[in-house]
Copies of this chain bind each other. A is one copy, B any other.
Amino acid sequence: MPVNIYDIAKKAGLSVVTVSRVINNYPNVKKENRMKVLAAMKELDYKPNAAARSLAIGKTGMIGLILPTFGDFFLIQVMASVEKALKEAGMFLVVSTAVDNTDLAESNYIRLYREERVDGILILTPVKDSGYLLELKKRDIPYVLLDQYQFNMQAPSITVDNFDGGYQATSVLIKEGAQNIAHISGPDFFESSKERVRGFVAALSDNGIAVREEYLIKGDFTFGCGYYATKNWIDMGILPDAIFAADDNTAFGVLEAAKEFNIPVPQKLSIIGFDDHPFTSLLYPGISTVRQPAEDMGKYGVEMLMEIINQKNGRMNKIALRPSVILRGTTK
């Protein structure tokens, strides 16, 4: 049985109130007594019990992060950044998965906030239905949306400007002189996928290039979709000059297909991906890509959530981060 605040009080010859003041670093404690308490705490190797503290103050010092899967590089990067930011703030990270909107509303994970286990949540799982957010609001649960935002209501969020990312990526290909430019998109399920498509289309039309239906293929952020889309174009004899892949996994597949069919990259085919996956710089040629500021997303997400927690009236911010193009060997 660990020592408690009464043990410290007794040892220091003071009351638990004073001990509590020292623990919480309140200024109104005589220096001499503070020393006594500190000494007692050290000698008895004391740490205050979190449950008791939570019960008394109504805060746990823990934050929940909800994500759809552990299998995505970008999501893991965000998680790493969140953990780092929380650690710096002396808080802890509870991780839970919820694959989709139904899961968000019904899975076991809701106990996280319903049982008041966390002070707030960071939501990386795509929220399709604002009803869920309204419930959080009703229950007064602080939250911040990550990598998504909500159209029909004010909801704090940190997003990446995916339109801009798509526009930038496509512009790189256009500036190279490519005329037949294709895009293999991500699933519509993610808002980010649609935004990248929009950026792609906008860049083309801003430059007077028509969007050809056969060059706008629906993918799913996998190696396979990149590989087969490319193989298909090759088989049909309509391989474009340049491909904007909606993520690096897709780009890996495109590159593999090109290698297999001896299409010189970037001479005959330029490729640009999205995410800056570690492998993009390792493969030969290195894959040009659009870097998402995952660290910033995690860091600002934690910051925003803290603000909301500490001053419930915090204005509902929306932050859109700018992605940046990284040029490697698959573009000219």
Contacts of A96 in B (CB 8 A): 83, 87, 92-93
Cα distance, A274 to B95, chains bound together (Å): 28
Roughly how many angstroms separate A53 CA and B55 CA in the complex, as a whole number? 9
| Complex CA distance for A116 and B111, rounded to whole angstroms | 19
A180 to B93, CA, bound (A): 49
- B47 near A115 (CB under 8 angstroms)? yes
Q: Which of A12-20, A198-206, A277-285, A312-320 is the contact stretch?
A: A277-285
Tell whether A252 is near chain B: CB-to-CB under 8 Å.
yes
Complex CA distance for A80 and B95, rounded to whole angstroms: 10
Indicate if the CB atoms of A93 and B92 lie closer than 8 Å.
no
Instruction: Answer yes or no: A43 CB below 8 A from chain B CBs.
Output: no
Residue of A83, A107, A112 with highest tally of chain B CB at under 10 A: A83
Chain B residues, Cβ within 8 Å of A79: 70, 95
Contact of A80 among B70, B279, B283 (CB under 8 A): B70
A196: CB under 8 A from chain B?
no
Check if A42 is an interface residue, CB within 8 A of chain B.
no
Task: Select which of B48, B139, B227 is within 8 A of A115 by beta carbon.
Answer: B48
Does B279 lie within 8 Å of A116, measured CB to CB? no
A54 within 8 A of B: yes
For A70, the closest partner residue in chain B by CB is: B80
Query: Main SS of the interface on chain A?
Result: helix
- CB distance A282 to B260 under 8 Å? no
Closest residue of chain B to A78, judged by CB?
B70
Decide: B253 and A47 in contact? CB cutoff 8 A. no
Let me know if A62 is at the binding interface, CB within 8 A.
Answer: yes
A2 at the A/B interface (Cβ < 8 Å)?
A: yes
Nearest CB in chain B: distance from A124 CB, A = 14
Q: CB-defined interface of A5-23 with B at 8 Å, one 1/0 digit per residue?
A: 0000000000000000000
- Residues of B within 8 Å of A83, CB to CB, are 70, 95-97
A residues with a Cβ closer than 8 A to B are 2, 47-55, 60, 62, 70-71, 76-77, 79-80, 83-84, 87, 90, 92-97, 107-109, 111-112, 114-117, 139, 223-224, 227, 252-253, 256, 259-260, 278-279, 282-284
6 further A-B contacts with Cβ under 8 Å, apart from A51-B51, A71-B278, A83-B95, are A47-B111, A55-B55, A93-B95, A93-B96, A252-B282, A259-B284
